[in-house]
């Protein structure tokens, strides 16, 4: 453990669901931050091996996949993180295994955190109606059409549902994930 890390989240396990085209810093920075707080973090994807990030304007680095979505169980995790990027959530939201996993997380009351275009996958669950949320501005209308109450803030929390707009919001996003996990489970969302 370095002088910059802690064990606040020791014993906690966090799932990051992503596929090729995730916005690189929206996966790597939360993953590193949460691990630095003592959490075990697993990258879950549609395929085994590795997935490739998108770094602003071109393909970025690969990230190892720990588990495929068909093997993942909500009961094994304390929180879920959904990175954005345009490509990643657009691929995830059409995969029924992903939508089922994310929907079960939403109904569980456990912490769910989505940044940038990540809320696209949340929309597919049918569970964002009435929720206070934010996102990348280009999907604001999608969230509103799904019944969410959209606001332009760096981080918005609604009973353990955490959303942020873009990579500039990552520091506030990361801190809020830790705070919400430490608060514990919320009432199930429906």
Sign of the Cα pseudo-torsion (59, 62, 63, 68, in order): positive
> What would the two tokens of residue 1 be?
């453990």
Residue 35: strand, helix, or coil: helix
Closest by CA to 79, choosing from 152, 145, 11, is 11
User: pLDDT category, 184, cuts 50, 70, 90?
Assistant: confident
Fill in the DSSP letter of residue 87: H
What proportion of the chain, given as a percentage, has pLDDT over 70?
94
Catalytic residue among 16, 46, 102, 116: 116
Q: Is the pLDDT of residue 156 over 80?
A: yes
CB-based contacts of 179: which residues, under 8 Å, 6+ apart? none
Instruction: For residue 94, count other CB atoms closer than 10 A to its CB.
Output: 11
Q: Let me know if 118 is a catalytic residue.
A: no
Catalytic residue among 12, 93, 117, 131: 117
Please list the helix, strand and coil fractions of the chain in percent, rounded to the nearest 5, in that order: 35, 25, 35
Across the range 109-137, mean pLDDT stands at: 97
Do residues 26 and 85 lie in contact, with contact meaning Cβ atoms separated by under 8 Å?
A: yes
Q: Is the pLDDT of residue 134 over 80?
A: yes
Q: Give pTM, 2 decimals.
A: 0.95
Do residues 110 and 77 lie in contact, with contact meaning Cβ atoms separated by under 8 Å?
A: yes
Q: Let me know if 117 is a catalytic residue.
A: yes
pLDDT at 82: 98
Nearest-Å Rg of the Cα atoms of the chain is 15
Across the range 149-169, mean pLDDT stands at: 97
User: pLDDT category, 6, cuts 50, 70, 90?
Assistant: confident
């Amino acid at each position: 453990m370095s002088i910059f890390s802690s064990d606040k989240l020791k014993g906690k396990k966090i799932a990051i669901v992503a596929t090729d085209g995730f916005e690189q810093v929206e996966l790597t920075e939360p993953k590193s931050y949460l691990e630095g707080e003592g959490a075990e973090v697993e990258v879950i994807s549609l395929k085994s091996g590795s997935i490739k990030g998108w770094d602003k304007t071109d393909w970025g680095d690969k990230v190892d996949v720990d588990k495929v979505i068909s093997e993942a169980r909500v009961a094994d995790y304390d929180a879920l993180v959904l990175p954005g990027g345009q490509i990643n959530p657009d691929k995830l939201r059409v995969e029924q295994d992903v939508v089922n996993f994310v929907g079960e997380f939403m109904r569980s009351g456990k912490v769910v955190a989505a940044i940038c275009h990540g809320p696209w996958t949340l929309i597919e669950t049918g569970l964002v109606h009435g929720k206070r949320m934010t996102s990348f501005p280009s999907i604001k209308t999608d969230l509103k059409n799904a019944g969410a109450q959209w606001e332009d803030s760096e981080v918005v929390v609604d009973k353990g549902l955490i959303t942020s707009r873009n990579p500039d919001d990552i520091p506030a996003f990361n801190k809020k994930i830790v705070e919400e996990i430490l608060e514990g489970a919320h009432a199930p969302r429906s």
